[in-house]
Amino acid sequence: MHRFFLPIPFAEQMPITGKDAYHIINVLRMQVGQQLQIVSNDQVSALMEIIALNEAVVSVRLVERLLTTHEPSVRIILAQGLPKGDKMDFVVQKAVEMGVSEIIPLSMDNCVVKLDAVRAKKKTERWQKIVEEAAKQSKRDIVPQVSLPMTLKQLLTNKQDVLLKIVAYEVEDRRGLRELLQAQENITEILLLIGPEGGISKEEFTLAEDKGMQSVSLGKRILRTETAGLATVAAILYETGDFGG
């Protein structure tokens, strides 16, 4: 069933406008009496029935509230060193499908891509669109946010309150991800830092450690940057019981 995120608080009767209305009317060609799912901006998920359509507005009425959440119990913030080409599109899409709550693109020492303010804004808008699509398709209850690209220093200041901060570091060969995760009592929020293609620089690593990030090894095989984040997100969600039951 199709799912739409509405930028308004929940009500028993709600209007769907803008591009979602266009999509329902002209692409899906839905009719009065058909059902769809909505998530309101105060996070109510509900099954709704179409009661009227005109050129620009679809009116829907509550059938029933949906009480089961599709959200994981752990809030994962993925901070990804900007990869080359359009790989970030891919990272964003897959991370949202799997259950990440927030995505922060990072400008790091070894990033080949350098974005000026204008391009950074454009790119972020593009990523946010990909996020929205992926959130709909995977039946998320929230639309995760992609922030504007920032530096590692800014990240560590903004997110200093996150209790568990992990950095995947290929030089690390003592502590594995699994060991670290299993040593935690109750994981509710994780900041996960993944470097770009060239890896994390020594200076960045020192800064991250100083600010309380814990380095982990991902194992013996060398993963590309866009694979490392997704595999780690899958592993975290598996560990917390949020992937595969």
Strands (E), the chain: 3-5, 13-16, 35-39, 45-53, 58-65, 75-81, 102-107, 145-146, 150-151, 164-168, 189-194, 214-216
| Least distance between a copy of itself and beta carbon 85 (Å) | 13
SS3 of 85-149: the string is CCHHHHHHHHHHHHCCCEEEEEECCCCCCCCCHHHHHHHHHHHHHHHHHHHHHCCCCCCCEECCC
| Least distance between a copy of itself and beta carbon 172 (Å) | 10
- Which lies closer to a copy of itself via its Cβ, residue 118 or residue 222? 222
| Least distance between a copy of itself and beta carbon 127 (Å) | 17
- Which lies closer to a copy of itself via its Cβ, residue 25 or residue 218? 218
Binding site for a copy of itself (CB under 8 A): 68-71, 94, 97-99, 137-140, 175-179, 181, 216-224, 227, 230-232, 234-235, 237-239, 241-245
- Rounded to whole angstroms, how far apart are CA atoms 113 and 96? 22
| Least distance between a copy of itself and beta carbon 100 (Å) | 11
- Which lies closer to a copy of itself via its Cβ, residue 15 or residue 176? 176
Residue 110 Cα distances to 62, 138, 228, 241, 245, angstroms: 51, 32, 16, 34, 37
Long-range CB pairs of 58-61, under 8 A, 24+ apart, other chains included: 58/15, 58/16, 58/17, 58/20, 58/21, 58/24, 58/25, 58/30, 59/13, 59/14, 59/15, 59/16, 60/13, 60/14, 60/15, 60/16, 60/36, 61/12, 61/13
| Least distance between a copy of itself and beta carbon 158 (Å) | 26
| Least distance between a copy of itself and beta carbon 137 (Å) | 7
- Which lies closer to a copy of itself via its Cβ, residue 123 or residue 140? 140
| Least distance between a copy of itself and beta carbon 49 (Å) | 22
| DSSP category for residue 212 | T
- Which lies closer to a copy of itself via its Cβ, residue 182 or residue 186? 182
- Which lies closer to a copy of itself via its Cβ, residue 122 or residue 224? 224
- Which lies closer to a copy of itself via its Cβ, residue 87 or residue 159? 87
